[in-house]
A and B are shown apart, each in its own frame.
Chain A
Amino acid sequence: MTHIFSGASPAGTIDQVFVSAQSFLLSFLPQALVPWASILVRIGVIAALAPAIMMYLTWLERKIIARMQNRFGPDRVGIYGLMQPLSDGLKMLNKEDIVPNGADRLLHLLAPIMAVSPAILLFAVIPFGRNMAAVDLNVGLLYLLAVSSISSYAIFMGGWASRSKFSVLGAARTVAQIISYEVPGVLSVVTVIMITGTLSLVGIVEAQADRWFIATPWGFVGAVIFFLCGVAEVNRTPFDMPEAESELVGGFHTEYSGMKFALWYMAEFLETFAVCAFTTTLFLGGWQGPAVPFWTVTAVSAAMIVTALRLPIAAKAFGVAAMAALTLLFWKDPVPSWIWFLTKTYLLVFVMVWFRGTFPRLRVDQLMGFAWKFLLPLTLINIVAAGVWVWFAFPVGTLLSVTILIAGIWGLVRVNSPEPVSLRRFELAD
C-alpha cells in the first residue's frame, strides 16, 4: 500500500514545461521587471484558465449526468457538444438584464462580482504541479479557508438586494448552510496541519511524499468530511436545497438574469473545481504519484481517440500521430506532476457529478442536523484519532486510531438514527 499511494516522481522535461516556458518568456525582459512580469504572467494565466475550466466543467457535468440517465448530453453544437459552453455563454450575454423594481441596483450588481472574485482568488494558491503554484504562500491553507467564506456575504447580499420574498428566504437558508458546514470543514483540515506542522499547501503536498494522507485512518475520515463539507459549501446536491428549483424556484439567484446569473453560475463551478483541487492537495497527495512511465498516458489517450465513434478519420489519424510523437520525444520521462494533479482533481469532480446524478436532496433541517450533530463531533473525534496516530508508533498508533474512529462513527450513527425500528406494517388484504 505504501508503494501505490506514494512516490515523489522525479522531475522530467515535460513536467516542468510550463515553468520553463515562463522563464523563457521572462528572459527577454530586464532583470528589474522580472518579478512584476512574473506576477502578471501568473495572473494572466489564471484569468484565462479559470473561465475555461468553468466552461468545460459545465460541459463535463451535463455529459456525465446525461450518460447516467441513458441519454446523450449536448451533442449538436460542435462535435460531442464541445461548443455548447460557448453558445451558453453567448446566450447569457445576450439576455436582458432585469433588475426587480425597488431593488438596490448597486448591491444587485456587486453581489455576483463579490461571489466570483474569491472563487478566482482561490486559484492563486492551488499547486497545479511541481513548482507550479502561482503563489507559494506560507499561510496558504489559512488563505484558502478565509477567502472561501467570503461567498456567504455575497450570497446574502444577492438575496437581500433582489427584494423578493423567495430570494431572501433562499439567501437566509444558504448562509445558514454555508456557515454550518464551514465548521466541520475547517476542523477536518486541522488534522492535516497537526501532522505536517505547516500551513503552506506546497509544504503539505511535499509532506505526502511517502504516504498520501488518505491512506491513514484519520486522513480517510478527514478527506470524506472535507469533501462533503465542500459539496455543501458549493450548494450542490444533495445539499442544494437553497437553490432548489422545485421548491422556491432558485432561491437567492431567482432575480438574476443574463451575465449576472452567469457570474453566479461561474462562482459555483469555480468553487467546485477549487474544492476538488484542495481535497486532492490536502489528502490525495497533490501532484505526487508513483513512478509510472509517460507512455501509459499517451497510450490511453490514443486508445480513447481511436474508439471515439464520431471523430472523422483524419482527426483520428492526427491524434494518434501526435500521441506517437509525444511518446518518442519524452520516452524516458515519468508521468508529469500536473497530469497527476489534474487526473485526481477530475476524478473528484466526477464523484461530485455522480452525487448530483444520484441523490435527492436533504431538507434544510436535516442538512443542518447532519452538519452539527454528526459531522462536527466526528471531526473532533478525528482530531483525537490523529493525535493518537502520530503519538504512538506504527502499528499501535494505527490500530488505536482506527478503533477510536469506528467507535465514534458507530456511536454517532446510533445517536442520530432517524427513526426507531419501523412500526409500520404493510398488509395484503383480499
Chain B
Amino acid sequence: MSAENSVAPAESISRERSASSSGNDARLGQRTTPLGLGVIQGMLITLRQFTGTYPVGRWLLRLLRLDKGDGLVTISYPEVKQQHDERFRYFPFLVYDGTKDNLRCVACRICEQECPPQCIHIVMQKDEKGSPVKAHGRTLPKTFDIDVSICMSCRICVDVCPFDAIEMDNTYEHANYARGREMVMDKDRLLKSNEYFQKIKPSESAVVDARMGAKKAKEDAAAAAAAAPKPAAPGAPEAKV
C-alpha cells in the first residue's frame, strides 16, 4: 500500500460520495441497465476475472485497458507460505537470556491465574524441604506446561507478566497425530532465546529490552547506592503500572 499524501484525495472522495448519495436521491435502488442486460453484465465481470488469471489474458486485458489488478489470489501452501505481520501471535514461548537456565520466569503463576481457558500449569522448583530453589538470584519453575489444544492465542498471559518472561511466538504448524502429551508443550519446548525474540519481533523486543535495561540500571544504581551486603531480590513481584 503506497504511503501517499492521503488528505486531499480522501476529501475529494467524500465530496463525490456525498454528491451521489446525498439527501433522498430517488435514483437509489433503481436499476441502471435495461431489463435483460443485467445478467450479461454479471457474465462479463466473471469473464474478466477468468482472463485475468492467465498471463496471456492479463496481457490482453492490459491491451484493452480493462486491467484492474485482479489475478490469482491463492497462495500455494506449503510451497509458498504467507508472510505474516510482526504482531501475528499464535502460541506463547518462554524467553531466556543467554543460556536456557537463565530464563526470566520466576514461577509467580500470575499468567496461570489470568489465562482465560486455564491452559497453563506451573510448578515451582522446590527442594526436599519444600522451600523454593533459586538460580541467578531468582526462583524458577520446575514444570511449565501449556496445552496447545486449549490455548486460544488471546495474549493475556503476555500482558500480565511482570517480568516479560513469556511472549507470543508466530509459528503455527503445531499439528500432530497424537492427542495426549504431544499436544502439551513443556518447559524445554517452550524455552527460546532472546535473540529469537528479537528476530521475529524486532520492534516489540526493542521495547521489552529497553524496559528491562532500564529496570536493571535502576537496580544496579540502587544496589550501588544502598551498598547493602545482600542485593534486593529482583524477583519480587512488583505491581508495575
Using a CB–CB cutoff of 8 Å, the interface residues on chain A facing chain B are 64, 67-72, 75, 307, 309, 354-355, 357-359, 413, 417, 422, 424-428
Q: Does B72 touch A at the CB level, under 8 Å?
A: yes
Q: Does B46 touch A at the CB level, under 8 Å?
A: yes
Q: Does B241 touch A at the CB level, under 8 Å?
A: no
**For A69, what are the chain B residues with a Cβ–Cβ distance below 8 Å?**
49
Is the pair A67, B76 in contact by a Cβ cutoff of 8 Å? Answer: no
25 pairs of residues in contact across A and B, judged by CB atoms under 8 Å: A64-B50, A67-B49, A67-B50, A67-B53, A69-B49, A70-B53, A70-B71, A70-B72, A71-B72, A71-B74, A72-B72, A75-B76, A307-B55, A354-B50, A355-B43, A357-B46, A358-B45, A359-B39, A422-B29, A424-B29, A425-B29, A426-B24, A426-B29, A428-B21, A428-B23
Give 4 closest A-B pairs by Cβ, nearest first: A426-B28, A71-B74, A358-B46, A67-B53
Q: Say how far A79's CB is from chain B's closest CB, in angstroms.
A: 13
Q: Does B22 touch A at the CB level, under 8 Å?
A: yes
Q: A354-B43, A422-B29, A424-B29 are in contact. List 17 more A-B contacts (CB 8 A).
A: A67-B49, A68-B46, A69-B49, A70-B71, A70-B73, A72-B74, A75-B76, A358-B43, A359-B39, A359-B42, A413-B35, A417-B35, A425-B24, A425-B28, A426-B24, A426-B25, A428-B22
Chain B, interface size category, equals 20 to 34
**For A75, what are the chain B residues with a Cβ–Cβ distance below 8 Å?**
76
A413 and B36 in contact, given A358-B42, A428-B24 (Cβ under 8 angstroms):
yes
CB 8 Å contact bits of B32-56 with A (1 = contact, 0 = none): 0001100100110111011011111
Residue of B with least CB distance to A422: B30
CA distance in complex: A309, B35 (Å):
42
**For B23, what are the chain A residues with a Cβ–Cβ distance below 8 Å?**
428
CA distance in complex: A337, B53 (Å):
31
Is the pair B56, A307 in contact by a Cβ cutoff of 8 Å? Answer: yes
CA distance in complex: A307, B55 (Å):
8
CA distance in complex: A72, B75 (Å):
9
CA distance in complex: A340, B24 (Å):
56
**For A359, what are the chain B residues with a Cβ–Cβ distance below 8 Å?**
39, 42
**For A70, what are the chain B residues with a Cβ–Cβ distance below 8 Å?**
49, 52-53, 70-74
Is the pair A427, B24 in contact by a Cβ cutoff of 8 Å? Answer: yes
CA distance in complex: A199, B226 (Å):
112
Q: Does B26 touch A at the CB level, under 8 Å?
A: yes
**For B25, what are the chain A residues with a Cβ–Cβ distance below 8 Å?**
426, 428
CA distance in complex: A422, B31 (Å):
9
CA distance in complex: A13, B45 (Å):
42
Residue of A with least CB distance to B41: A358
Most chain B Cβ neighbours within 10 Å, of A67, A359, A424: A67
CA distance in complex: A425, B23 (Å):
12
**For B49, what are the chain A residues with a Cβ–Cβ distance below 8 Å?**
67-70
CA distance in complex: A321, B114 (Å):
69
CA distance in complex: A413, B26 (Å):
25
Residue of A with least CB distance to B26: A425
CA distance in complex: A426, B36 (Å):
24
Residue of A with least CB distance to B36: A413
CA distance in complex: A72, B80 (Å):
14
Residue of A with least CB distance to B43: A358
**For A425, what are the chain B residues with a Cβ–Cβ distance below 8 Å?**
24, 26, 28-29
Is the pair B46, A354 in contact by a Cβ cutoff of 8 Å? Answer: yes
CA distance in complex: A75, B50 (Å):
17
Q: Say how far B37's CB is from chain A's closest CB, in angstroms.
A: 11
CA distance in complex: A355, B47 (Å):
10
CB 8 Å contact bits of B132-172 with A (1 = contact, 0 = none): 00000000000000000000000000000000000000000
Most chain B Cβ neighbours within 10 Å, of A64, A68, A354, A357: A68
Q: Say how far B72's CB is from chain A's closest CB, in angstroms.
A: 6
Q: Say how far A418's CB is from chain B's closest CB, in angstroms.
A: 8
